Structure 1
Amino acid sequence: MSRTFLERFLGMLRDHTNGAAEPEGAKADDDPSILDLRHLPMRRMRVRGTAYVVSSRRRLSAGAHEYILRREPTNKHDSYAIAIYDGTNKVGYLTTSTASRMAPLLDLLGHEGYRVGGLPSDGVSVKLWVDVPLMDGLKRLVKSHAPRSSDLEP
């Protein structure tokens, strides 16, 4: 009986990771202040403002396949600002129009950061890309996390 491509691929992955279920580093952080949004439907957007926070040379090697979105409500230019981090380094922002729609929803969720996917620089272009949750999915998540009135009673 011949094995399917998927079975062969999973076998190779298992061999490469010494039988571990996930490759090292693929596990979600146990940090409760970061909410993982990668399960939501997403759209890919260009990271904005990278020239203001990362040098051109650094942008060629910056970015990641995983980003953290962090609200910046005290940002002097935009109180709805959402910064994008590749680990501990800020690499840019969401557009103001996207941030103005997302910020109130993220504020309701109340976490320090939100894990999403994306793409780093390809080594030629300095453009970075981030996966941003679609608004309908984010609204459903907020609704599912909202406390029930019975939870608020003493």
Structure 2
Amino acid sequence: MSRHRCCFGSCRLRVGACVIGIACILISILSLCSLLSVSTTMSSDAQSFLTTPIVLSLVQFATSMIMIVAVLTSFHWLLAPFIMSCAANLLALVVLCSWGVLRRHELSTTIVTILLLGATGIAVVYFWFLTIISMTFVLIRDRKIMGYDDEYDIENRQFDRASSSIV
């Protein structure tokens, strides 16, 4: 039973995946709003550096919507774009940390420290999201392979007991 639960056993995988999808939608909306508000005060050369984060936020928004649809319709292949989006965001965090380390002489020490700690925290959250969604992918795939319907509850199914007097 515990392998079909997430968040320290507090909810089922499918519910957790939907909550992660909603959280990622909110994160992408907040990041888009903050990036677009910051870009209005920047020069055109500096705005070109914001293209990649804006594209990643839009991709995360789209893949999160697709992931929620995939969980609700039990079509496990639609979870693959979200998994790839998480991998792309993790790669972007690695690039951001590398940039911060390479530019540490030009930036103040507190900015580099905040950048590295923040990126590490965000990376841990994305790894957690990636783990939960991968477990959901396997759960939905295995349920289809085993022939269970969506209405059939794997965790709470009743088994008929064999009478010991027959054996």
State the TM-score, normalized to the length of structure 1.
Answer: 0.24
Point out the structure with the larger helix share: 2
Point out the structure with the larger strand share: 1
State the TM-score, normalized to the length of structure 2.
Answer: 0.23
